């Protein structure tokens, strides 16, 4: 059953794509939203719908993140209900270490006095991170992206087991291809490397995949509005998720389901092929 009191969402990266649409979906349901981004100047549409805006870089130090939580909570209590990554180190800092940094502080905040008061009502909190179809399959031209998403999914799956007894659920959302603007060149969200080695990869699968990304841009099958509706349902155990527990992993889109099922079949085939050899390594 859905709670009679509004849910409170703290959304890191609410400037576009899934983050922004989740904020809009939650606001439309009457929930309270604290929307953060490195620059919130462009989030006036969320503010006009009642969201509290907080400037926050997820790679900031702990004190800065805790202060952002406090600012958001303080503003919410008194109000009605980018930059392109060009190196693997910066990419991992934001998309893996930044998520871990945020999560550590989120757990601390949820266990604080404010969190304890919420837990007294019998409700469970949820920490949700974003993986991807790329959490399940790697391939040419997106090694860093797949590595980061695998890390996030593995981290969140482990986190779910660690915090469950603290009345906190953890979920990693794994979308397939959605029209979020993620692949738009020059839009601030597409990841490029400083030295893409175009000449070295000419005529290879890497070059082929890069061309496919240009073709699929704005032609992806996934509808972000529909996807975020499922996400909000799952995280609040309402609508399509009525009577269900918050899932540890939430794949989105038929393309993601196809990839996961293909990966499962390939993995089973690998184990069957190698079983006789790989099961001989234990002590007698």
Question: If pLDDT is split at 50, 70 and 90, which confidence band does 76 have?
Answer: low
Tens-digit pLDDT profile for residues 111-127: 886 556 665 677 889 99
For residue 116, the model assigns a pLDDT of: 64
Q: What is the pLDDT of residues 158-186, one digit of tens each?
A: 999 999 998 999 999 999 988 876 544 55
Helices (H), the chain: 17-28, 44-48, 62-77, 88-92, 98-110, 113-119, 143-163, 205-216, 224-236, 254-278
pLDDT at res. 175: 95
Looking at per-residue pLDDT, the higher value among 126 and 16 belongs to 126
Predicted confidence band at 260 (pLDDT cuts at 50, 70, 90)? very high
Share of the chain above pLDDT 70, in %: 77
71-82 average pLDDT score: 60
> Is the pLDDT score of 140 beyond 90?
no
Residue ranges covered by each domain of the chain: 8-278
Cα distance between residue 34 and residue 144, in whole Å: 30
Q: Is the pLDDT of residue 217 over 70?
A: no
Q: In what order do the strands lie in the sheet with 168-175?
A: 125-130, 168-175, 249-252
pLDDT at 89: 78
Burial class, 118, CB count within 10 angstroms (exposed 0-12 / middle 13-18 / buried 19+): middle
Query: By percentage, how much of the chain surpasses pLDDT 90?
Result: 48
**284 pLDDT tier (thresholds 50, 70, 90):** confident
Rounded CA-CA distance 86/91 in Å is 7
User: Which CATH architecture fits 8-278?
Assistant: 3-Layer(aba) Sandwich (3.40)
**CB 215: neighbour CB atoms within 10 A?**
9
């Amino acid at each position: 059953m859905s709670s009679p009191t509004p849910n409170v969402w703290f959304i890191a990266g609410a400037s576009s794509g899934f983050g922004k649409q989740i904020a809009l979906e939650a606001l439309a349901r009457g929930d309270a939203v604290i929307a953060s981004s490195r620059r919130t100047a462009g989030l006036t549409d969320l503010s006009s719908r009642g969201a509290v805006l907080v400037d926050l870089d997820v790679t900031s130090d702990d004190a800065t993140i805790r202060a952002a939580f406090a600012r958001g909570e303080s503003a919410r209590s008194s109000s009605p209900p980018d930059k392109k990554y060009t190196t693997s180190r910066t990419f991992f800092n934001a998309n893996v270490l930044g998520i871990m940094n945020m999560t550590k502080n989120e757990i601390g905040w949820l266990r604080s006095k404010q969190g304890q008061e919420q837990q007294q009502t019998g409700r469970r909190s949820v920490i949700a991170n974003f993986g991807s179809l790329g959490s399940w399959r790697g391939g040419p031209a997106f090694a860093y992206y797949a590595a980061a998403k695998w890390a996030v999914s593995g981290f969140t799956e482990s986190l779910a087991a660690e915090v469950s007894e603290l009345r906190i659920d953890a979920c990693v959302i794994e979308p397939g291809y959605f029209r979020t603007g993620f692949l738009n060149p020059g839009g601030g969200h597409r990841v490029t490397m400083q030295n893409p080695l175009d000449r070295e990869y000419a005529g290879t699968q890497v070059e082929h995949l890069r061309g496919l990304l240009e073709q699929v841009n704005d032609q992806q099958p996934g509808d972000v509005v529909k996807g975020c509706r499922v996400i909000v349902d799952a995280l609040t155990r309402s609508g399509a998720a009525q009577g269900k527990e918050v899932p540890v992993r939430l794949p989105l889109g038929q393309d993601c389901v196809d990839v996961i099922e293909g990966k499962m079949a390939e993995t089973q085939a690998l184990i069957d092929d190698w079983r006789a050899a790989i099961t001989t390594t234990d002590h007698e």
